[in-house]
Amino acid sequence: MSTPPLSILLTSFPDSASAQFAATSLVTEHLAACVQILPGITSVYSWQGSLESSSEVLVIIKTSASSATAALDRLRALHPYEVPELVTLDASAAEPYLQWVTSHCSP
């Protein structure tokens, strides 16, 4: 079975500034073709035995499958959270979009 050529990475940040910095870094370093920043989400989660609720910024990262590991490594280095949400989804897309993503991401 072949690996899908597109990876969608999901993460959340505590504020727009840290999300914008990570997004800019990933795109300028050719680890992502596009990053979408969605402010105004609320996350409800368990942390260290307590129920928490926080305002966060959702970040959706489009990268090539061959760049996904490097993009995740860079996100770990940039992320302010002790345990950041780093989710990878394998995806497919229309060929012109896949070519665009692949051409903007270093393997």
Which H helix or E strand runs over 97?
A: helix 95-104
Q: Is 7 helix (H, G, I), strand (E, B) or coil?
A: strand
Is residue 31 included in any domain, yes or no?
Answer: yes
Strands 50-64 and 87-91: unpaired
**Token pair 């970040």 in the structure block, residue:** 59
Instruction: Note the pTM of the prediction, 2 decimals.
Output: 0.93
Residue 81 lies in a domain: yes
Q: What is the overall mean pLDDT for the chain?
A: 95
Number of domain units in the chain: 1
What angle do helix axes 68-78 and 16-28 make, rounded to 10 degrees? 140
CB 22 within 8 A of CB 96: no
- Tell me the CATH number at 99: 3.30.70.120
**The pLDDT of residue 3 is above 90:** no
pLDDT confidence band for 1 (50 / 70 / 90) = very low
What tens digit of pLDDT does each residue of 50-76 get?
999 999 999 999 999 999 999 999 999
70-89 mean pLDDT: 97
> Does residue 106 carry a pLDDT above 90?
no
